Structure 1
Amino acid sequence: MNNAISVNVRRLGQPKNKLVPSGATWGIPWKKGELLRDERLTMTGPSGTPVPLQSWPTAYWPDGSVKWSAHAAALGGSVCDAASFVVSKGEPAAPAAPVHVRDEDAYFEVNTGAIVCQINKAGADIVRAMYRGETLACSGGKLVCIREEQRSDAGGRVFKEQHFVSQITKAAVEQSGPVRAVVKVEGRHKAVAGSRAWLPFTLRLYFYAGLAQMRIMHSFVYDGNPHQDAIKGLGIAFSLPMSGPLHNRHVRLGGDTGFFAESPKHLMTFRTRGKYEELFRRQTAGEMISFDPQEDAAFIGLLEDAAVWEDFKLVQSAPDYYEISKRTQEGCCWLKSGSGSRSSGVAYAGSESGGIAANVRNFWRKYPSALELRHLSADTAEMTVWFWSPDVRAMDLRHYDTKTHLLSAYEGFDELRSTPYGIANTNELTLHCLESTPSAEMLKALAEEAEAPARLACEPQYYYDAKAFGLWSLPDRSTAAKAQLEERLDAVIDFYKTEVEQRKWYGFWDYGDFMHSYDPTRHVWRYDVGGCAWQNTELAPNMWLWYMFLRSGREDIFRLAEAMTRHTSEVDVYHIGEYAGLGTRHNVVHWGCGCKEARIAMAGLHRYYYYLTVDERIGDIMNEVADADYTTVHLDPMRSYYPKDEFPTHIRVGPDWAAFSSNWMTRWERYEDTSYRDKLLTGIADIKSMPFRLRSGPVYGYDPKTGRLTHFGDDNWGRHLAVCMGGPQVWFELAEMLEDPEWEEMMAEFGSFYLLSREEKAAQTSGAIAKWSWDHPVLASGIIAYGAYRSKDKALAGKVWDILLSEPFMARIGQPDTVDGLEYVRPVQEIGMASTNIASQWSLNTILSLELLADSLPEG
């Protein structure tokens, strides 16, 4: 045990400004035995400045030492713009104003030292009141939903709307300081007129010591009928106290680069001249304006006659278009006031007593979103953040057809199981309590914080040395061949960054996902061809992006991986209902494919983000999937191949049991729950007893109550399925925890066997498994590399490099063709053979092979 250890952590990207302090939460991995659960950690900034730190464990090694620790700090004051810090063993500094949480009968009260927020335990309003000093800053915070039902008859279409607001069913304090406090609120949306309650929600409210802000994580689950229950609008509304004359009330809405700045009673009239023009400029800049009743009587009369602009809104209806409008009152038209491409997602409303600014994460990326400010002339105004704007068409969650297209479109089953019932979505915003109307510079700082919230991370070398997430390599360009592979790894990241923007892979339900395969004839991805459209974690692109971040530390890769994790863990996964714990295979519609499988939802895909950022929502989702193996009893993954028999269900060693093993490993290390460890050991023992161990698969009879696997047969789809869905990445890390040489030997044995000729396979297995399909070596090259490494087989290592170096798509990466504007709707760049399956698996297997077989890579 090293008591003198210290860990360097740094911000992702450079600090954007000194104007906005921010709270940061992040994770640090530890070697086995390096950090004991009762040891304390401290943090220092530049020049050894103590930074108050709150720490807690998030995962443990089997010996009880800490595997991952979580940390929270408020980055303000002298460290507001600090780029790096040091975490070491020692007593942490205490915040000057620690967060305090008080439990009252009807609410929780959180005091950060800068604000006091009361959070209700029941009712519609989440926030009872939020104060800045003695001043009420806001209240309310109720969730709002508009349900639309459409009916058609000979006379046309009729649209009916029904309004819902939040109804709290449960509230709990998850953390109570001293640096960070978290309150979790759960409930459903209840009809304003009627008894129906639907759309379960979870809100987490985050507070940091000394900061006058509240971060909100908003998640909801869809539990309606897509043919009857369309969501027309979904958001959260706050009540803001207003005081003083109307001309001293201010509105700000974030544009592309600057801000829409007006007042409900601005000073521009037909006769605004002279000193009043200067006053108008000062008003527009946010200053408080006063008049002399006698000297300014004539102008005051003009103001009394001028229109009062009661309501304002900004609607981001597409990724490249927003519109700002305002109106004088209900029943009058909305007047277009401005437009642009991509709003920064910031809104402010306030008066002489200060106000509230809201910044929304990924505002334009998750369109159609909106910011609405209403009743600006009243004593209480309303600010609504719309995650889905009611100014656009309602959500359409129906399937794209009334039948499946198994043969022509690579859809998984003849069964039509396209349902959004149980999928979810998560959105983030932050409220800032401000004493006065913010400057444009301050608003810009808020927008930048929303765009890229403060994140701290370790150096890649530290992650590597700690063996965080198993086996992977650091970049190495020491030879021409290694440099070529590194260039391809970087180039494929750049390719997908470009595709996200070029193809506009944005939207409330889509942002974060990539598409599956490309159609060079139409110059588009196969968006309408069944299983060739959205990727939905097929072949583990999440893992690819996270390992690329770990080895590089690049912020842009982190943001790609973060967006994919948020999307795939919510939209591609069932959180309630018949398919709870499973996800949907790749399809035109994210939830469209009849294949509902554990590997899409497995914890192994999402745990990177959880341990690196300590995101509680991801923690919830990993808990949801811990027992996903039970769901396969009523939805057998192999139901098309094997009828019901003596086994409760049938599974494959990969991707099914591999997914279960990732869920169980994660549950075991997070909670030290040995029942999940025992399930792992039971399965591994059964695999050891199979005729040819791991090679015997892939289909087993399975009983989730016991975890027992019984050798059953073969699905004839090839051994690559056992290892190309993230299984090896999970199993290599699991090996560090189990310390079972035979488990590692079995994995190596599988890899060494994969490329043998049919005759060699027959000789080793008496012909039993020689005929089975082993025909996708690029997808299995990582486990083959492991076999070559363990057996020190240089010839096999050479074959691995031949496979990886000759892959056609990756050989073309970085060299796209140009499609002119006549062949397609606009000019685009393309690589005709683009495949996310290949991009993901080639990258993962290259990263692994560079760690295991770098010495055998040809230099040229």
Structure 2
Amino acid sequence: MIASPPADRRSVLKAMLLGGGSGLLPGGLAQAAMAQPAFAPAPIGWIDGAAPPRDLGQTFGVPWPRGMVKRGEALTVRAEGGGAVPSQHWTLATWPDGSVKWSGHALAAGADAAGYTVARGRPTRPSNRVRVSETTDTIVIRSGDIAWTVAKSGGALIREARRGDRVVMGPVELVASTVADPDGGASTPFAGHVTRAVVEQDGPARAVVRIEGVHRGGGRDWLPFTLRLYAHAGGDHLRIVHSFVFDGDPARDFISGLGVRASVPMRAALHDRHVRLATDGGLFAEAVRPLTGLRRDPGRAFREAQVAGRAVPPLAEMGRQVREGLDRIPAWGDFALQQLSANGFTLRKRTGAGHGWIDAGEGRRAAGLGYVGGPDGGAALGLRYFWQRHPTQIDIRDADGDAATLTAWLWSPDAPAMDLRPYHGTMGMEGYDAQNQGLDVTYEDYEPGWDNAHGIARTSELTLWALDATPDADTLLAMAAANAEPPRLMAAPAHIHSADVFGDWDLPDRSTPKRAAIEDQLANLIDFYADEVDRRSWYGFWNHGDVMHSYDGDRHQWRYDIGGFAWANSELSPDLWLWYSALRTRDPRTFRLAEAMTRHTGEVDVHHIGRFAGLGTRHGVQHWSDSSKQPRVSTAAYRRIFYYLTADERVGDLMRQLLTSDATLQHVEIGRKVPGAKRVPLPEGVVEMSFGTVWCSLAAAWLTEWERTGDARWRDRLVAGMDSIGRMESGWMAGGAPFDLKSGRFIDPGPKIAFSHLNSVFGAVEVNAELLQLLNVPRYRAAWLDYCRWYNAPVAEFEAKFGKRNGSTNLREGHSRLTAYAAHETNDAALAARAAREFYSGDAGLGVADGDPRHPVTTQPLAAPVIEWPGVSTNGASQWGLAAIQNLALIPAALDAASPEPRRRRRR
């Protein structure tokens, strides 16, 4: 808790600001000449360990040691055991000396080598390069014989796709609908309306077009969207990354359908029109007018051709009775693959509107790809996370007409409408006292009107193919698999580590028994959480990617319905734990668990527009239900690693949106409910700000923007904050201080020491490791090292030096990594030994288990099989995981030598 300021503090602060106390200092930026390191090519490999059966095009990032690669230097990609492959590259980030820190690379579709290497040299251009051209109102993307015409405005995203002179796909549009009541009522349709389209990359290996717009209908424009189209040379498809923001009123805007729809010309005879739907490892493959299973046999050649998706022989060769009775065979125009839960899909079809549906099959988890067309061409559309993001649907309609529609529903129109209303009422908690009482009981920080979903977002990924004929079954299944779980190339962990990026971490080390035990537990924890996602069905459109916060051992259930104990919403940095684990191992399960979390926490847990813009929501029963809106959840620290490993433009957008989010704190006061705090008005443009949960969270965005653009404004803003903290009487141990938004400087609160157990556990440790590597601000370094040394210090030692300690001593296990950092930086063996003892203590953490602690629950009947990890919480797992990784990197010998001390009472 921040100490109360004196009564005349407002005037004192104003005088300090007007007197120039906020002026930026040079900060002693590190400009020392460094010898350029010898160039070492970067090995690149598949996270799954082997080349995929089908690749749709690759994009990945590669880090480089400072000074190794000059900006603008040509880089090429070589296949393992072969020569250069078609590629393109660009700069993602630079070091302070201007050399390349991260380069982005794109490969043409069809990558099939066991591995690759990025080396110096001019990149090879693909023979069928992607080309982009523009007119006044369109953008045309050409790859091989395919031309995609993208609209710059209007109702279609893509006006048409041609193969040669033949149109194989008509307009591609966004569709949506709402109902007046979640239980039914009148429906209002909406259609996407493009307001802007720009080319972000124009080849040769990859082209990227960004489209922006809104959904229009019922006399309003709403649901703003950003959509990117990605084309890779050698591909017959576009990757689609679709993002929208919910800007409606949860009390009246109930989305009943949200999808992407393509029109497909149908020219072939009805018996030569093919429908394909990817199910759970199989393929639903039928014709609009079937020729198999009839009472009369059309002939083997006809049956085999139709099943294979080829044109049937001339009708003159067909059996007479079937040929004369073709018009008597029903034509099935409509098909629906519905995944309304994570564990069940259904297939239905009908002859057309006004006629009844019949059941055509069912199963558990569909891959989520549909195709409609014929021997002369067609279209396929796949939705990633099809069953994980239920309720979803693939619809094919009017396949018996002149043009079929193929729709991937992100929210199925046959499911109950989307209901984003708060899950409970006020319950007498109009005032802060009652709200704090509720927080004390359920851990939920409730406030009327703040549990509002306005401004949350969701990103979905799809693949759209323009095909010249109906693919065979194996090809379609490979397409579905590549869309559902995209193959991924990643730089080798050893190369990433050698580049000295992302602070303090090292490669897995099982060279001693104690290190092996820690490594085993790191692996076991990842497996436990990945398995829990499936065991507990942590799925659904808004939920997928997050994990639960705390466990209820009495119910053998995570506390999904208990206030702040429910969804984790990045609490205590599970995102970072997973990403640092992925950095070390390149393990596919870890990578994809972290990827899904990044897609969730950066979108759903953050308000992108409105009064909370740029802030995230503390953990809760709904991802937006808690009234604590803070930068500690929205922080770019949780997105940076994914962005640099994958060069993902959407995550780049999200981080850039946070650059000025500190301005939101002028009307969202984080500490407004702190019991007993005396709230004194501050000068205009000055806000109270903690150093860790707020400033470091914001600093992550400024750091990333400085790296990405080289814009010195963001470097200077970092230096201003660092220098002003370093000049304070208590430095980092003050915990927080008034912050001048214009200058980026803190104002010294005087001789105040206030520790919070949360201040360094939302990315502050990781952000500071990078800041101190890049910026030479000696006072700040000293202030941070003091904080690291003294947070976990024995009380007697602390009070002998500073007097009575003010603030928390919680999370001792997790804070062992601060002690380890101070020990490493100062070469203090005694401090390293203390850090190891703190880590092994398990105090307010998870502890190092003797073996694998997971066990099945067999003591009572349960709805489903349960595996438990005694004492687990996501807070504990995340901080234990980060402490383990960083301690292994900083004090491995001390970990080997330490004797575990008696375990203290665990604090939650």
TM-score, reference length from structure 1: 0.95
User: Partner residue of 1:646?
Assistant: 682
- Which residue of 532, 538, 548 corresponds with 1:505? 538
Give the residue type in structure 1 aligned to 2:636.
A
Distance in 2 between the 1:457 and 1:58 partners?
15
- Which residue of 95, 100, 104 corresponds with 1:70? 104
User: Given the superposition, is the C-alpha separation of residues 207 and 857 from structure 1 closer, same or farther in structure 2, using an over 3 Å criterion?
Assistant: same
User: Given the superposition, is the C-alpha separation of residues 302 and 474 from structure 1 closer, same or farther in structure 2, using an over 3 Å criterion?
Assistant: same
- Which residue of 731, 734, 740 corresponds with 1:693? 731
Give the residue type in structure 1 aligned to 2:325.
L
Q: Does 2:758 match 1:732? A: no
Distance in 1 between the 2:447 and 2:797 partners?
38
Q: Does 2:45 match 1:10? A: yes
- Which residue of 452, 470, 478 corresponds with 1:419? 452
User: Given the superposition, is the C-alpha separation of residues 270 and 138 from structure 1 closer, same or farther in structure 2, using an over 3 Å criterion?
Assistant: closer
User: Given the superposition, is the C-alpha separation of residues 23 and 707 from structure 1 closer, same or farther in structure 2, using an over 3 Å criterion?
Assistant: same
| Equivalent runs, 1:185-196 vs 2, <5 Å | 185-191=211-217, 194-196=218-220
- SS in structure 1 at match of 2:602: helix
- Which residue of 827, 834, 839 corresponds with 2:865? 827
* CA deviation profile, 1:654-712 (whole Å, cap 9, x unmatched): 111111111111111111121221121111111112122111x2131122112121244
- SS in structure 2 at match of 1:280: helix
User: Partner residue of 2:381?
Assistant: 358
| Equivalent runs, 1:571-582 vs 2, <5 Å | 571-582=604-615
Identity of aligned residues (%): 38
User: Partner residue of 1:660?
Assistant: 698
- Which residue of 776, 783, 788 corresponds with 1:751? 788
- SS in structure 2 at match of 1:636: coil
Displacement of 1:776: 2.5
User: Given the superposition, is the C-alpha separation of residues 549 and 294 from structure 1 closer, same or farther in structure 2, using an over 3 Å criterion?
Assistant: closer
| Contact 1:118-1:129 at 8 Å conserved across structures | yes
Q: Does 2:410 match 1:377? A: no
User: Partner residue of 1:209?
Assistant: 233
Distance in 1 between the 2:752 and 2:606 partners?
25
- Structure 1 unaligned spans of 5+: 152-156
Q: Does 2:592 match 1:592? A: no
User: Partner residue of 1:777?
Assistant: 812
Distance in 2 between the 1:713 and 1:498 partners?
50
Give the residue type in structure 1 aligned to 2:138.
Y
User: Partner residue of 1:58?
Assistant: 92
- SS in structure 2 at match of 1:109: strand
* CA deviation profile, 1:93-117 (whole Å, cap 9, x unmatched): 1211221111111100111124111
Give the residue type in structure 1 aligned to 2:687.
T
Q: Does 2:171 match 1:140? A: yes
User: Partner residue of 2:197?
Assistant: 171
Q: Does 2:531 match 1:493? A: no
User: Partner residue of 1:307?
Assistant: 330
Q: Give the total of aligned pairs.
A: 845
| Contact 2:813-2:841 at 8 Å conserved across structures | no
- Structure 2 unaligned spans of 5+: 1-35, 427-434, 900-908
Displacement of 1:378: 1.0
User: Given the superposition, is the C-alpha separation of residues 821 and 118 from structure 1 closer, same or farther in structure 2, using an over 3 Å criterion?
Assistant: farther
Displacement of 1:173: 0.6
User: Partner residue of 1:851?
Assistant: 889
Q: Does 2:254 match 1:220? A: no
RMSD of the TM alignment (CA)? Answer: 2.0
User: Partner residue of 1:322?
Assistant: 345
* CA deviation profile, 1:187-246 (whole Å, cap 9, x unmatched): 00000xx32111000110001122211111110000011110011000010000111210
| Equivalent runs, 1:554-573 vs 2, <5 Å | 554-573=587-606
Deviates more, 1:634-643 or 1:488-497: 634-643
- Which residue of 606, 616, 623 corresponds with 2:649? 616
- Which residue of 478, 491, 500 corresponds with 2:511? 478
Distance in 1 between the 2:732 and 2:863 partners?
50
Displacement of 1:713: 8.3
| Contact 1:57-1:69 at 8 Å conserved across structures | yes
| Contact 1:68-1:611 at 8 Å conserved across structures | yes
Give the residue type in structure 1 aligned to 2:852.
G
Q: Does 2:81 match 1:47? A: yes
Q: Does 2:799 match 1:762? A: yes
* CA deviation profile, 1:736-783 (whole Å, cap 9, x unmatched): 110334433322221211232333223322x2x624322321231211
Distance in 1 between the 2:788 and 2:519 partners?
24
Give the residue type in structure 2 aligned to 1:789.
H
Distance in 2 between the 1:343 and 1:723 partners?
42
- SS in structure 2 at match of 1:202: strand
Higher relative contact order (CA 8 A, sep 6+): 2
- Which residue of 570, 587, 595 corresponds with 1:537? 570
Displacement of 1:285: 2.4
| Equivalent runs, 1:615-634 vs 2, <5 Å | 615-634=648-667
| Contact 1:747-1:783 at 8 Å conserved across structures | no
User: Given the superposition, is the C-alpha separation of residues 17 and 795 from structure 1 closer, same or farther in structure 2, using an over 3 Å criterion?
Assistant: closer
Q: Does 2:434 match 1:397? A: no
User: Given the superposition, is the C-alpha separation of residues 327 and 845 from structure 1 closer, same or farther in structure 2, using an over 3 Å criterion?
Assistant: same
User: Partner residue of 1:23?
Assistant: 57
Q: Does 2:362 match 1:336? A: no
Distance in 1 between the 2:256 and 2:43 partners?
47
User: Partner residue of 2:473?
Assistant: 440
Give the residue type in structure 1 aligned to 2:840.
L
- Which residue of 175, 182, 187 corresponds with 2:208? 182
Distance in 1 between the 2:374 and 2:794 partners?
78
| Equivalent runs, 1:806-821 vs 2, <5 Å | 806-807=841-842, 809-812=846-849, 814-820=852-858
- Which residue of 110, 113, 122 corresponds with 2:141? 110
Distance in 1 between the 2:859 and 2:538 partners?
20
| Contact 2:379-2:467 at 8 Å conserved across structures | yes
- SS in structure 2 at match of 1:513: coil
| Contact 2:444-2:626 at 8 Å conserved across structures | yes
User: Given the superposition, is the C-alpha separation of residues 96 and 2 from structure 1 closer, same or farther in structure 2, using an over 3 Å criterion?
Assistant: farther
Displacement of 1:821: 8.5
Displacement of 1:270: 4.7
| Contact 2:854-2:867 at 8 Å conserved across structures | yes
User: Given the superposition, is the C-alpha separation of residues 491 and 376 from structure 1 closer, same or farther in structure 2, using an over 3 Å criterion?
Assistant: same
Give the residue type in structure 2 aligned to 1:454.
P
| Equivalent runs, 1:669-688 vs 2, <5 Å | 669-688=707-726
Give the residue type in structure 2 aligned to 1:645.
P
User: Given the superposition, is the C-alpha separation of residues 555 and 826 from structure 1 closer, same or farther in structure 2, using an over 3 Å criterion?
Assistant: closer
Distance in 2 between the 1:772 and 1:101 partners?
59
Give the residue type in structure 2 aligned to 1:333.
G
Give the residue type in structure 1 aligned to 2:511.
S
Deviates more, 1:513-522 or 1:87-96: 87-96
User: Given the superposition, is the C-alpha separation of residues 673 and 644 from structure 1 closer, same or farther in structure 2, using an over 3 Å criterion?
Assistant: farther
| Contact 1:21-1:74 at 8 Å conserved across structures | no
Distance in 2 between the 1:435 and 1:158 partners?
42
Give the residue type in structure 1 aligned to 2:142.
N
Displacement of 1:16: 5.6
